[in-house]
Amino acid sequence: MVQKRKPYKTYTKEFKIEAVRLMTESDRPSSEIAMELGVRRNQLYKWKEQLEKEGVADFATKRGRPKKEDESEVSRLRRELERVKEENEILKKAAVFFAKELD
């Protein structure tokens, strides 16, 4: 029987900022704060890193990989290059296999 995964839980910007503030200003361990808030400990650290990197004004509730239409051309081309390289390797192996059978 296939189990459906739980939907992702989203948190508000204010919740994330307050969670990071609690973690940085409190003497309690981050694991205890995370348990109290109902989030994973590593999620607190990710929020802290995002907050330091982006600042309070740009700290958003975005998550995950960018949508296909938002994806840059460079990343699309890199993905395509990886696929072509893989196909090339398969063709090389097939050529070696068939060349051995001709001998």
Residue-wise pLDDT tens digits, 40-82: 999 999 999 988 887 777 666 565 665 666 678 888 899 999 9
Structure tokens at 10: 């989203």
pLDDT at residue number 53: 84
8-32: per-residue pLDDT in tens? 788 888 899 999 999 999 888 999 9
pLDDT at residue number 74: 85
User: Does 6 score more than 70 pLDDT?
Assistant: yes
Number of Cβ atoms within 10 Å of the Cβ of 45? 14
Distance CA(30)–CA(40), nearest Å, equals 10
Structure tokens at 79: 């993905």
pLDDT at residue number 68: 65
pLDDT at residue number 1: 63
Distance CA(90)–CA(3), nearest Å, equals 35
